[in-house]
């Protein structure tokens, strides 16, 4: 793949989240679905009011019906490519939700396998000319599954993060400690993670070598340079997503260092969880609450500091925050506020221009060896970010940069997917690892923390001479003299 090609596709992909306002909102073929067989009207609160698609605002039925079944997405769908089954393919999932809405599929429980196997990677939407938002449609379908998001653990986790983040942090540390004190897998066995409602975290944590005992937010709060008090402006505000905050503290710290170096003074926004976990676990109301709190916090800072970009260093969270408006399509008061916040969000991957990325220190560059870049799904498919990080990496790694074949093939991490679908997840990962091995990479740069955990756990087992590092960590390390 060459740059021109990427640049060519870039324009179109970038608009994935920005409905084209110039075009007439809906063509003549617009039908309002009177009867929605997917969920009862009284459950509407658990669902999105509308989807903000590339073709404009659409209700779920219209968004799903936009798929004309051409099938061009199928070869980009990892689960289809591995199984060859329409049932667990992008087109199949879309058709399933459509059939459910139309009442042609009678029982939502039949859709369980189809919907739960989706990685939500969004490769299908990238391949789709109409940009049918299959991940959003799948999530809507999942929310209609009986009990989805209602189980005790999911509720506990989201409630913990929402209402008592510090208490949540305490329990999490206890769980980590249980691991550090050498009691093998005690933490997992104690069900602490389950108690915290993060079964996926148990899996992620087991693939992370060093779990932190000080979370990033605690450290950043202590950094006087990052305090907003008494300041009139800020070049950036750092938003600490849960991954860098609770698991990969070094990523958060590296991001802040890189931001300071490249973009001057900024602040730590001292945020809450972005709400993605609640959203994907099916707890939309909770996700909205997270969003409202973050938006309010942003507005509070904006009143003091004026405009500033909100920088997140996990692509999943950045992509989700860019879509905050979609959470509030039925809420006139919050919708514009969400849109304004979303417009301020930037992924660290796209924020730093090559000119400000500094220069590689020879020793550090030598240590990094051969560098390649993995497109995290929520960066490339979710936000259309492909060119920017490559430009920086090409500059820093020079001739040691290699383009990864199938770089936008999902790694299989996909949030809790690795936990809920271990077999499929392993096969998805295997293909990623083979591609990494094919370019004999030493360093695989990624932009999302679930990719970091997933790819590193795979590399340790299959290809130990390579390691995955977060984009910020790579930038921080490679430009550091000595």
Partner 1 sequence: MFKHDRISAIRSELEAIAGRGNVRTDEAEILMYSYDSGMARARPEVVINFTSADQVAPAVKVLYGAGIPFLPRLAGTNLSGGTIPLKGGAILNLSRLKKIRQIDTAARLALVEPGVVNLELQKALEPFGFFYAPDPSSQKVSTIGGNIGENAGGPLCLKYGVTSDNVEKLEVVTPEGEVKLWSYRDRGPDLMSVMIGSEGTLGIVIRAWLKILPLPSQLRTASAAFPSLESAMEAVTRIIGAGILPRALEAMDKVSMDAALGKANAFPEGTEAVLIIELDGSDKAAIDTELETVRGICAANDCATFKVAGDEAERTLLWAARKGAYPAMARLAPDVLVEDGVVPRPLLPEALKETRAIISKYKLTAGLLFHAGDGNLHPNIIFDRRDIQEVKRVKKAGYEILKSCINLGGTISGEHGIGVEKRVAMNWLYGRAELDFFQGIKRAFDPAGLANPDKILPVATELAAGEPGSKAFGSASAGREASSVFSGRSALSPSARGILDELRLRSAAGTLTAVTGLGTRLKPEHIHKIKGAENTRQLKLRPLSGRSEIDKGNLTARAEAGLSFEDFGRQLREAGLYIDLPLLKGSVGGLIVSKICPDLRGHLLGLEVALADGTLLELGGKTVKNVAGYDAIRLFCGSLGTYGVILAATFALSAGQAPAKPRFEENPDWDVFEPDTIHRRLKKEFDPRNLLNPWVYKGPL
Task: Tell me the pairing of strands 51-53 and 56-58.
Answer: antiparallel
State phi, psi for 30 to the nearest 5 degrees: -125, 120
Give the nearer residue to partner 1 in terms of CB position, either 101 or 253.
101
Q: At closest approach, how far in Å is the CB of 87 from partner 1?
A: 4
Q: What is the DSSP letter of 179?
A: H
Q: Which residues contact 211 (CB under 8 A, 6 or more apart)?
A: 176, 179, 180, 205, 247
Closest CB to partner 1 among residues 11, 229: 11
Min dist CB 58 to partner 1, Å, is: 11
CA–CA gap between residue 274 and residue 290 (Å, rounded): 6
Residue 145 contacts by C-beta under 8 Å, 6 or more apart in sequence?
Answer: 108, 109, 111, 112, 115, 282
Place of tokens 């997840």: 425
- Residue 85 or residue 185: which is nearer to partner 1 going by CB? 85
Smallest distance, partner 1 to C-beta of residue 67, A: 7
Nearest distance, CB of residue 124 and partner 1, angstroms: 11
Cβ nearer to partner 1, comparing 64 with 295: 64
Give min distance, CB of 212 to partner 1, in A. Answer: 41
Least gap, CB of 415 to partner 1 (angstroms)? 23
**How far is it, in rounded angstroms, from Cα 247 to Cα 310?**
21
In the bound state with partner 1, the residue whose beta carbon lies nearer, of 70 and 167, is 70
- Which is closer to partner 1, CB of 104 or CB of 359? 104
Measured from the CB atom, the residue of 96 and 239 that comes closer to partner 1 is 96
CB of 273 to partner 1, least distance (A): 33
Closest distance of CB 468 from partner 1, Å = 26
Closer of 104 and 222 to partner 1 (Cβ): 104
Q: How far is the CB of 39 from partner 1 (least distance, A)?
A: 19
Q: Which burial class, exposed, middle or buried, applies to 152 when counting CB atoms under 10 A from its CB (0-12, 13-18, 19+)?
A: exposed
Q: Which residues bind partner 1 (CB under 8 A)?
A: 2, 4-5, 8, 11-12, 27, 29, 31, 55, 62, 65-72, 74-75, 83-87, 92, 95-96, 99, 104-107, 110-111, 113-114, 128-130, 132
Which candidate, 177, 207, 188, places its Cα nearest to that of 458?
A: 207
Report the residue number, 12 or 426, with the smaller CB distance to partner 1: 12
- Measured distance CA(200)–CA(203) in Å, rounded: 5
Strands 371-373 and 401-402: what pairing? Answer: parallel
Phi-psi domain of 15 (left: phi exceeds 0; alpha: psi -120 through 50; beta: other) = alpha
Whichever of 70 and 265 has its CB closer to partner 1, that residue is: 70
User: Within 10 A of 206 (CB to CB), how many other CB atoms are there?
Assistant: 16
- Residue 130 burial (C-beta neighbours within 10 Å; 0-12, 13-18, 19+): middle
Q: How far is the CB of 147 from partner 1 (least distance, A)?
A: 18
- Note whether 441 and 370 are within 8 A (CB): yes
Task: Please count the CA atoms within 13 angstroms of the CA of 338 that sit on its side-chain side.
Answer: 23
Contact of 82 with 424, CB cutoff 8 Å: yes
Could you identify the residue written with the tokens 């909205």? 288
């Amino acid at each position: 793949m060459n740059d021109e090609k990427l640049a060519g596709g870039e324009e179109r992909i970038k608009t994935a989240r920005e409905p084209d306002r110039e075009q007439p909102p809906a063509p003549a073929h617009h039908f309002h679905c009177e009867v929605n067989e997917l969920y009862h009207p009284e459950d509407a609160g658990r669902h999105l009011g509308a989807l903000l698609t590339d073709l404009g605002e659409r209700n779920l039925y219209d968004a799903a019906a936009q798929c004309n079944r051409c099938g061009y997405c199928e070869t980009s769908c990892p689960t289809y490519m591995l199984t060859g089954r329409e049932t667990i393919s992008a087109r199949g999932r879309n058709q399933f939700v459509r059939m459910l809405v139309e009442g042609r599929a009678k029982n939502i429980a039949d859709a369980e396998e189809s919907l739960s196997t989706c990685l939500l990677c969004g490769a299908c939407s990238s391949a789709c000319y109409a940009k049918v938002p299959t991940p959003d449609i799948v999530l809507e379908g999942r929310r209609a599954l009986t009990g989805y998001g209602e189980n005790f653990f999911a509720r506990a986790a989201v409630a913990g993060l929402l209402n008592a983040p510090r208490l949540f942090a305490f329990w999490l540390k206890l769980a980590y400690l249980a691991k550090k004190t050498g009691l093998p897998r005690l933490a997992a066995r104690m069900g602490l993670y389950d108690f915290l409602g993060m079964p996926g975290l148990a899996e992620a944590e087991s693939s992370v070598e060093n779990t932190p005992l000080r979370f990033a937010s605690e450290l950043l709060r202590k950094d006087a340079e990052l305090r907003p008090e008494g300041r009139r402006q800020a070049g950036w505000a750092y938003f600490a997503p849960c991954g860098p905050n609770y698991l990969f503290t070094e990523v958060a710290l590296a991001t802040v260092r890189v931001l300071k170096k490249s973009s001057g003074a900024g602040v730590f926004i001292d945020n809450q969880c972005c709400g993605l976990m609640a959203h994907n676990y099916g707890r939309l109301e909770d996700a909205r609450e997270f969003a409202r709190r973050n938006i309010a916090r942003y507005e509070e800072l904006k009143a003091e500091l004026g405009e500033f970009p909100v920088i997140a260093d996990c692509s999943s969270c950045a992509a989700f925050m860019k879509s905050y408006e979609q959470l509030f399509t039925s809420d006139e008061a919050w919708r514009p506020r969400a849109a304004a916040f979303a417009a301020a969000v930037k992924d660290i991957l796209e924020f730093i221009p090559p000119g400000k990325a500094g220069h590689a220190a020879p020793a550090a560059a030598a240590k990094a060896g051969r560098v390649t870049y993995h497109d995290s799904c929520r960066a490339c498919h979710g936000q259309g970010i492909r060119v920017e990080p490559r430009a920086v990496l090409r500059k820093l790694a020079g001739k040691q940069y290699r383009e990864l074949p199938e770089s936008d093939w999902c790694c299989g991490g996909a949030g809790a997917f690795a936990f809920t679908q271990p077999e499929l997840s392993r096969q998805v990962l295997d293909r990623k690892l083979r591609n990494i091995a094919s370019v004999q990479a030493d360093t695989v740069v990624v932009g999302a923390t679930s990719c970091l955990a997933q790819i590193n756990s795979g590399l340790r087992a299959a290809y130990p001479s390579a390691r995955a590092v977060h984009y910020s960590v790579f930038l921080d390390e490679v430009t550091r003299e000595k």
